[in-house]
Amino acid sequence: MRLSPCGIAVSIWLLAGSVGVQATEPDGAVVELAPLLITTPRSHARWLSAPVAVTVVEAGTAPGEQSLTLDSMLARVPGVFSLNRYNLAQGLRPAIRGFGARGNFGVRGIRVLVDGVPLTMPDGQTELDGLDLGLVERMEVLRGPASVLYGNAAGGVLAIETREPPTLPSMQLDLSAAGLGYQRMRSEIGGSDGNLGGLLAFNSTVLEGYREHSQAQTNSFTGKLRWYAPNGRLRLNFNAIDNRAEDPGGLTATEVKADRRQAAPNNLRFNADEYIRQQRLGLVWDGYAAGADQYQLRSYLGHREFGNMLGFTTSGQTTFDRYFSGVGGQYSHYRELIGMPHKITTGFDLEAQRDDRRRYDNLLGERGQSRQQQDESALSQGLFIEDQVDLSEQWQATLGLRYDQVRLATDDAYLADSRDDSGSRSLEDWNYSAGLSYRFTPQQSLYARLASSFETPTINELANPQGAGFNGALQPAQALSRELGIKGEWPSLRYALALYRIDLEDELVAFSLQAQPGRNFYRNAGESRRDGVELSLDWQLTDAWRGSMAYAYNRYRFIDYRVAAGDFSGKHTPGIPKQTFFSELAYEHQEGYVRLGVTAQARVYANGANTQSAPGFALLNLRLGKRLQLGEQSLEPYLGIDNLLGREYFDNVRVNDGNARYFEPGPGRTLYAGLRVLF
């Protein structure tokens, strides 16, 4: 069945106008959705008036989740596509409007913040492995280039908010188990005394996995302190993780047909896996100045220890010790100029990281000869200013400008090859954004937005295919985005439609070498273009029934891209399906809930030549649970079934793999159950 996004949007608009979109119970009680406020523009704004595509996902609207990764929350956002739920060695790989699709592990091209502090490293790479999903309460997803406010690698923004310390002392315990050898234990305690509040949380997850050689164990500890003063709020966050996971690797199409659950032979022979230990501390002061002015000061520092083994011998083991830190601040000033209210926000970001990276031969899982030793560093500096202007009661404009400078350097300490591959790259850029919104009725608005962004390669992506040092030919990617949209918000319905075009120069594209399976290198595509349509709907049908939907149409293609293997101009960008769809119907009454949802996607091309692809699929998922009050204790047993109909599909696609090992099959029907206790 072919979907017409414009037709769907028009139908919603007409339906909303005809019925007044108020959900009314038989007894006359009207259920309302509160007006939505957003913070991703680095200052508070009403969602309806902001000239930007942003979606808010509340964890409370989706109870009974397994909380293995963030994909269940991200599926509700049009234009966001995620791969790799079950291979914890590679981590969840979300993409926003195509930004982030190039990486075979982790998050690229997207800025991620947790409680206002960047989770993204100074070089632009993000790992979500340190996030306790049981603490996540809210997530704002800003879609499209946002470099003006967030700097390098801001093709989109995930702003995650976690639970604040409770007013009254309380404790939570969450135990769950499932097929695939899944076990999870999570505990949390918190409380407040006067102006001071605190919270401690521990999470431990074990997963045997669907495929051979895919065991994983993750452990995280999170601590939060909050101090409230008359002129502001101080937030202190600490997080520590200790994770280990095996990597089953990708399979060829022939191997998938023979046995979907097998691991890649070399991943077994060389015991491919990884370990991560990390500690991170963040400090944020949210202050109130004269009048309505507000400001924020933030800082963070941390240490990350990493090691992995890949499925080949020469340089097949990698370790690094990373130290990272950053400071930033912003000030929002309200004043009237030329008879119009302005909110002028200025700010800065300064971030740094240093890696002591080493590579060794992998002798069938044992450490062999040293092959590389180098210190790698990244220093990122940025200044920005944005002005939000209320031109009238109906018109609002935003203008922004930012300057960024990123310095990447390597100091080669491995001189056994009689070569010094030390070097550095300094990259700088100006970026701008302009937005205009018009509220043509009290409940609906139109907006237009123009924005530029740039994205430097991460330190890992600058790896030289020829050996040590940096790949001097790799350039940063540049993007220019144009967007039109319409939004509507009534007491019981919220919808949004966005149409956009993004033109890119020097898009970063991954490839791998046959001799080094599992390790990626990068090159630039000359020109590429992304055209898309995004539609979302959230409707409170009655007090008990709620429906939601998200749809995206993606026409992403290379305009000018030639490599030794051929001319890929006109080919579809690999790693992103042409269409994605999410829909859910939820019923909640007397503390019981049932949710039935579907996620669907078109096929995903696995290589730039578009000769290999993973077929499209649709998965049906069920959630149900019941909250029980026993005196002062609250119990919540819950149950979920993923892939209810047992469809065959691919959980991950390894783009442009040099050995055609593109495919990582996903599991069939999977059942999980849990019990949450609140004391």
Residue 522, pLDDT score: 86
* d(C-alpha 180, C-alpha 297), whole Å: 44
β-pair type (493-512, 628-630): unpaired
Residue 668, pLDDT score: 96
Q: Is 363 helix (H, G, I), strand (E, B) or coil?
A: strand
* d(C-alpha 306, C-alpha 324), whole Å: 14
Q: Is 320 helix (H, G, I), strand (E, B) or coil?
A: strand
| pLDDT per 10-residue tile (average), the chain, 679 residues | 43 41 41 67 78 93 90 95 92 92 82 93 86 93 87 85 94 95 96 96 96 96 96 96 96 96 96 96 95 94 95 92 96 93 95 95 94 92 95 94 92 84 88 95 96 87 73 87 96 96 91 76 90 97 96 96 89 95 96 96 94 96 95 93 96 91 96 95
The reported pTM is: 0.91
Q: Is 176 helix (H, G, I), strand (E, B) or coil?
A: strand
* d(C-alpha 271, C-alpha 365), whole Å: 5
Q: Is 149 helix (H, G, I), strand (E, B) or coil?
A: helix
Contact 204, 185 (CB under 8 A): yes
Question: How many Cβ atoms are within 10 Å of 184's Cβ, its own excluded?
Answer: 22
Q: Which residues contact 45 (CB under 8 A, 6 or more apart)?
A: 37, 38, 39, 388
Residue 498, pLDDT score: 97
Backbone angles phi, psi at 167, to 5 degrees: -70, -45
Residue 34, pLDDT score: 67
| Integer CA distances (angstroms), 541 to 171, 235, 506, 549, 622, in order | 34, 38, 46, 13, 20
What sign for the dihedral angle of Cα 110, 111, 114, 119? Answer: positive
Q: Which residues contact 449 (CB under 8 A, 6 or more apart)?
A: 51, 52, 53, 144, 433, 434, 435, 436, 481, 482, 483, 485
Half-sphere exposure of 665 (CA within 13 A, CB side): 23
Residue 27, pLDDT score: 42
Q: Would you state the torsion angle of the CA atoms of residues 488, 489, 490, 491, taken in this order, to the nearest 10 degrees?
A: 160
Strand-pair partners of 130: none
Which token pair is 217? 């164990």
Which token pair is 435? 């937005």
Which token pair is 376? 């790698």
Q: Which residue is it, tokens 């509040």?
A: 197
- Amino acid identity of residue 671, one-letter, is L
Burial of 573 (0-12, 13-18, 19+ CB in 10 A): buried
* d(C-alpha 80, C-alpha 534), whole Å: 10
* d(C-alpha 573, C-alpha 581), whole Å: 19
Residue 521, pLDDT score: 83
* d(C-alpha 507, C-alpha 15), whole Å: 41
